[in-house]
Each structure stands twice: as C-alpha cells, then as structure tokens.
Amino acid sequence: MAIYVVMEPPAANAAEAAERAVFVRDGVAFFAFLVPPLWLLWHRLWIEAAIAFAVSVGLTALGETAGLGFTGGALSLLVSIFVGLEGQALRINALRRRGWSEWGVVEANDLGEAEIRYLAGDVPEAAVQSSVPHLKGPIQPRLTAGAASGPALGLFDYPGNR
C-alpha cells in the first residue's frame, strides 16, 4: 500500500478544499530520477528546476575540465538520485510555502482509493490510536543534549515532524 500526503488549499471552505486537495504520493519518483529538471518544471517548482539544471551542468563541466572523462557526466547522476528520492518532499514544501495546509496522511492502494478515503473523512489519527496499546501515564520523549532536531537524511523537513 502506498502513503499519500493530503494537502488542502489555503482559506477554502470544506467543499472547496475537498475539491482542490492535492495528493502527494510518498516514495521514489521514477520520472524525477530520469529527467529531474523536466519533472520539477511539470510540478511548477521553477527555482528547484533551475538549480537542478545548473548543478547537473556544473558537475558535468567540472568533470570534463578536470579530465575525469565519463566520471564527470556520472557526477550529474547525483542530482538525479537526489531529485528522485526527495522530489515529493520538495513538492510538499512548495505547497506549504504557498499557504497550503497538511490535512493528514492516507494509506491506500492507488490514488482513487486515497481520494475515497479522504472524502469519507477517515481521520489518520484514529487509525493510529486504535492500533497503539494503552499505556499508563503520558510518554515523555527523552532527548539528549546532542540530539538532532531535523531529518537524518535529506535537506528538507518531512511532513508530520512538528
């Protein structure tokens, strides 16, 4: 089953929010791996597309001027891997910057089923709470002095961390 992050538009009533909600599938974006700048442009991530293109061309040019041969072109593969793995997080962060809010997370087999679950009003917290055993007293997280507050991998924050 796939996980979809549901993003709702800013300042919209319930009916309009349900109509315009965006479902972002969590996982590797295959087309983002194949053609990162075009995938970013398709999803209206203009600045990210320009940066991905510039870094890819820059790494290739750096490899060619350093005399690395084929390795110079292979360095630009790093951009493809990054955008393929982090492309969906880039989309979610772009929607947040535009004022969209995160409704929650839906687990479904495909996009159609995710839309049905969202429109039916399946609240993700209810499913999580029913599967967690009841404990006596509140759980207090233990943080060490050197604990990192951001994500362990990647450069961008993931939904639900706050």
- Kindly report, residue by residue over 47-62, the tens digit of the pLDDT: 999 999 999 888 888 8
Q: How far apart are CA 51 and CA 144, in angstroms?
A: 36
Residue 112 lies in a domain: yes
Burial status of residue 47 (CB atoms within 10 A of its CB: 0-12, 13-18, 19 or more): exposed
**pTM greater than 0.75 (yes/no):** no
Q: Give the pLDDT of residue 147.
A: 52
Question: What are the tokens at 69?
Answer: 């041969």
| Domain membership of residue 88 as a residue range | 2-131
Instruction: Provide the pLDDT for residue 134.
Output: 46
In a domain, 73, yes or no: yes
Is there a domain that residue 141 lies in? no
Residue 79 domain flag: yes
The predicted structure's pLDDT at residue 35:
92
- Whether 76 is covered by a domain: the verdict is yes
Instruction: Give domain status of residue 13, yes or no.
Output: yes
Number of domains in the chain: 1
Q: What pLDDT is attached to residue 130?
A: 41
Phi, psi angles (nearest 5°) of residue 33: -70, -40
Q: How do residues 15-59 score in pLDDT, each as one tens digit?
A: 788 888 899 999 898 999 999 999 999 999 999 999 999 998 888
pLDDT in tens, 98-129: 999 888 899 999 998 988 888 887 555 544 44
